[in-house]
Chains A and B, each alone.
Chain A
Amino acid sequence: MAEQTTSTAIRAGSARDGQAGRPGDGRPEKADSAVVRDALGVGVAVGLSGFAFGVTSAGSGLSVLQTCALSLLVFTGASQFALVGAIAAGGNPLTAAAGAFFLGVRNSFYGLRLSQLLALPRVVRPFAAHWVIDETTAVSLAQPTRRSARIGFTVTGLTLYVLWNLTTLLGALGAEAIGDTDAWGLDAAGPAVFLALLAPMLRTATERAVAGIAVILGLGLLPVLPAGVPVLVAALAAPAVLYAEGRRAARRATGKNPQEDPRKADGRQGEGR
């Protein structure tokens, strides 16, 4: 979701600098209430799924306190699920943390875009940073003006943070109360969350190749490597596919059909992703 909205919002952003919200400039200002409604929709829906995290985490053997600490301090869902999944599988804590960390790295790139879009004062940034995640980025980048982007970011971040932490606590307490969480199918929540995050990213052949190779590496190495390590090895699918793609582009540029190739190479760069 975030990736889809990104490029258009950035392009719109460069065109509207300095004229944000001026009426009659062909880019009608979005009503604050409409921004709040969009932000609440995302914040509530995703915030409630903290329940699934609480249950999964407690079911993976983490205490209620550890589970809540993750939601309060890490606050980036995929990393949290990855960490408790790796711990449940018996992974070394540092390997588990490494997998969770690598998943969190994408937030750096969200922050980079948001810092231009929101233009936050320096003192606010350390606090805003904690809310830089998929959902706040998606909502902010979809807004037409800086004002509505700031409202979208704040409302999404606040709703999601409060609800995610409340439902994490309820889920962790609930997991202890209901005992065998597998009987309730709650162990399927983690992979379903990952799939929902992954699906919008699979738009090009490159992305599908990366996903396919990562699945093969992750499952193929699982029986032979220590827990947690296969996921890190599977991450190498990304540079491997990029490398193969680069070689293919280079071969085409120097290769048999010089008439067609430069244009193709330009087109690829123009995509800018």
Chain B
Amino acid sequence: MNIWIAVAVTAVGCYAVKLIGLLVPAGVLERPLVRRLAALLPVALLAALTAQQTFADGTTLVLDAKAAGLAAAAVALILRAPFLVVVAAAVVVTAGLRAVTG
């Protein structure tokens, strides 16, 4: 049930912010500080989430095959690979390393 609450709150919240963007008159969200903050917030969140999902197991920090998978994704990004290839590289390298190291 708790998960359904999270699903519902996220769905309503995310739809609301999309709709607000289309409905508000330009200018309200166009203040330079607000715009800069909106551009930087996803950077902070995505960076923190990437790091946590790679190096965390619950509330402990770990270093496992996922780190190698993420490194592979980074290489794919530097080589300008398409989105799907980036994700596939991470998955394949992680699975391969786990298969080898057991």
Which residues of A are in contact with B by a Cβ distance under 8 Å? 3, 45-46, 48-49, 52, 61-63, 66, 69-70, 73-76, 78-83, 85, 87, 89-90, 93-94, 96-97, 99-112, 114-116, 120, 125-126, 128-130, 132-133, 182-199, 201-202, 206-207, 210-215, 217-219, 222-223, 227, 230-231, 234-239, 241-242, 269, 272-273
Contact = CB atoms under 8 A, between A and B. Distances in A.
Given A96-B6, A188-B91, A107 B39 contact: no
Given A184-B91, A185-B93, A242-B36, A46 B83 contact: yes
Nearest to B33: A242
A62 B9 contact: no
29 contacts: A45-B83, A45-B84, A52-B87, A66-B3, A82-B49, A104-B10, A107-B18, A109-B29, A110-B21, A115-B22, A125-B23, A126-B19, A132-B18, A132-B21, A185-B65, A185-B97, A187-B53, A189-B91, A191-B53, A191-B70, A192-B70, A197-B42, A198-B47, A201-B43, A202-B43, A222-B56, A222-B61, A231-B48, A235-B41
Nearest to A110: B21
Given A49-B83, A69-B11, A273 B36 contact: yes
Q: Tell me which of B17, B33, B86 has the highest count of chain A C-beta atoms within 10 A of its own C-beta.
A: B17
A217 B48 contact: yes
A207 B40 contact: yes
Given A94-B5, A235-B45, 8 more contacts: A87-B3, A105-B17, A109-B35, A111-B20, A194-B49, A195-B74, A210-B47, A223-B61
Contacts of A102: 41, 45
Given A78-B46, A191-B90, A218 B51 contact: yes
Contact of A48 (B35, B56, B84): B84
Q: Is the interface of B mostly helix, strand, loop or mixed?
A: helix
Q: Is the interface of A mostly helix, strand, loop or mixed?
A: helix
Contacts of B3: 61-63, 66, 87, 93
Interface residues of B, number: 73
A69 to B, nearest CB: 5
